[in-house]
Amino acid sequence: MKNLFLLLLFQILWVACSDNQQWKVAQQLKPLDSIKDKVLEGDWLTEHNESSIAFNTYQDQHPITGDTLRKYLYLAKIGSFDTAATAIADITCAYLKAFFLIDVKVSQVFSLRQIPATNIRSNGQLDAAYILDSLLFPALPADALSMIALTAEDLYPGNNWNYVFGLASLQKRVGVWSIARFISARGKPVSFEKALCRTLHVASHETAHMFGITHCKTYECNMNGSNSLPELDRQVPWLCHECLAKLCWNRNTKVKDHLQSMQAFYQKYLPDHIALQYYESALAMLSE
């Protein structure tokens, strides 16, 4: 009995130490983070009075985490995708894999015919709430930690809204995001790289919400809230050291592994992006 107690105590201490270890590693990256002090009129923080959640508080909230049963992130598509949109979806799959160090499975393609006419506006916008509750949730596989869907159609979340970039349900572990407004502005197409970067940013931000990571208002960070495309375009795609510590704790991964996989992603897909310089600098700062 005494041995069992000592074993349990050792396990508790080991888990606590490993939590603190990645927190300490992430602290080494603090000099790379910029304090978020530039807030423009109309930005997220001018309209939303949120408070930052500390690392310890995040742990105490028992957010959704993976386990031996629920271990895959599913990426589904809704409607048709042209060549550029298909490439964006494929690269988003690789990005989420690198960012969350999770196995991503490309899921089924849902047809627009699976959405009732009453949930499609005359301008073609799809009802995001219907998609979450009646399309994705019933199709959630048993081994899914969560399922996100991309669509090239525009979305609306309710009758009083013009549009929404995306919508997610933490309880149901499903989310849907549209790339319609990322790939064209007022009918004019934007560059492939810009559309891709916007999609990667929002997909990682929203998926991190599913892991219970809330908005960050202290540092320039992927988890900054965003009210508009211009605000989104000003934000950095990487996580600040505090949000990164939360992610690594949740995923039970090492800071270094996240940085290395993100460095490899940018080397392969976006070698001229400033994020590659960030990840290279971050890796150079780690002392182990």
Tally of residues, the chain: 288
Residue with smaller CB distance to Zn ion, 151 or 204: 204
Q: Which of 76, 203, 216, 262 binds Zn ion (CB under 5 A)?
A: 216
The helix/strand/coil state of 183 is helix
C-alpha–C-alpha distance, residues 130 and 157, integer Å: 9
Q: Does 255 bind Zn ion (CB under 5 A)?
A: no
| Contacting residues for 53 by C-beta, under 8 A, at least 6 apart | 61, 214
* Torsional class of 42: left (φ above 0), alpha (ψ -120 to 50), beta (otherwise): left
The three-state DSSP-derived secondary structure of 88-131 is HHHHHHHHHHHHHCCEEEEEEEECHHHCCHHHECCCCCEEHHHH
Q: Does 202 bind Zn ion (CB under 5 A)?
A: no
Longest CA span, the chain? 71
| Contacting residues for 281 by C-beta, under 8 A, at least 6 apart | 32
Closest contact distance (angstroms) between CB of 240 and Zn ion is 3
Task: Please give the structure tokens belonging to residue 92.
Answer: 């988003």
Residue with smaller CB distance to Zn ion, 115 or 150: 150
Residue with smaller CB distance to Zn ion, 128 or 216: 216
Q: Which of 243, 259, 275, 282 binds Zn ion (CB under 5 A)?
A: 243
Closest contact distance (angstroms) between CB of 31 and Zn ion is 15
Q: Which of 29, 210, 221, 262 binds Zn ion (CB under 5 A)?
A: 221
CB under 5 A: which stretch of 66-74, 190-198, 234-242, 272-280 binds Zn ion? 234-242
Q: Which of 240, 255, 262, 276 binds Zn ion (CB under 5 A)?
A: 240
Closest contact distance (angstroms) between CB of 242 and Zn ion is 5
Closest contact distance (angstroms) between CB of 191 and Zn ion is 24
Residue with smaller CB distance to Zn ion, 32 or 84: 32
Q: Which of 203, 223, 232, 270 binds Zn ion (CB under 5 A)?
A: 223
| Contacting residues for 196 by C-beta, under 8 A, at least 6 apart | 87, 88, 91, 92, 270
**Which chain residues interact with Zn ion by CB under 5 A?**
216, 221, 223, 240, 243
